[in-house]
A and B are shown apart, each in its own frame.
Chain A
């Protein structure tokens, strides 16, 4: 079974600074997807960024980028120029490729952006 581990329950960062959230996962599959979801206080789950395992290039979405290390099974999220609106829970997630795309989540990291 696939597992996703986030070892940082809480983090804080000064506004405009950069922060990195860590995630490791375990799988025996070669093809899969990795995600970071953001959950603000509104509870809505928002997809921040996605990485396909077969792509070596790290995904980037504006201020959000990932460091994907397939051999090490590591998938960290970097948030640049942190904004107050980035305050939220962040979940790392894994999804296998194929018809049954079950998403397995980590336990989350609570990020607080400090003005």
Chain B
């Protein structure tokens, strides 16, 4: 398996533009997380999906952020409109959770977003 695939690797956009980040989970994984990494705040959980359903979106900073998982093979994180303070590295991570057994989280390589 190619692992968790995120695209694009780098994104530079102007303030006010819409940005869409993409994630392809490892095949068979049923849980997906979006994280944001900044120097100031470290790694923050934005949203968690289980079986394509958003379970915990308490980390989504504001209404400008939205995330979807239309099927088990694809998720998007959208920012509209984008602001300079959204500049960060965004990670997607997926797991294959079975009951209460431990399930390792595998991370994509992240998308570095710069909003100018």
Contact = CB atoms under 8 A, between A and B. Distances in A.
A100 B55 contact: yes
A101 B106 CA distance: 13
B42 A43 contact: no
A32 to B, nearest CB: 10
Nearest to A37: B107
Interface of A: 33, 42-45, 47, 50, 52, 91, 95, 97-108
Interface stretch (B15-23, B62-70, B75-83, B95-103): B95-103
Interface of B: 31, 33, 42-43, 45, 48, 50, 55-56, 89, 91, 93, 95, 97, 99-100, 102-105, 107, 109-110, 112
Contacts of B50: 99-100
Nearest to B89: A43
27 contacts: A42-B109, A43-B109, A43-B110, A43-B112, A44-B107, A45-B91, A45-B93, A45-B107, A47-B104, A47-B105, A50-B102, A91-B43, A95-B105, A97-B100, A97-B102, A98-B100, A99-B50, A100-B48, A100-B55, A101-B31, A101-B97, A101-B105, A103-B33, A103-B105, A104-B45, A106-B42, A107-B42
List the 4 shortest-distance A-B pairs measured between CB atoms, nearest first. A45-B107, A105-B43, A107-B42, A43-B110
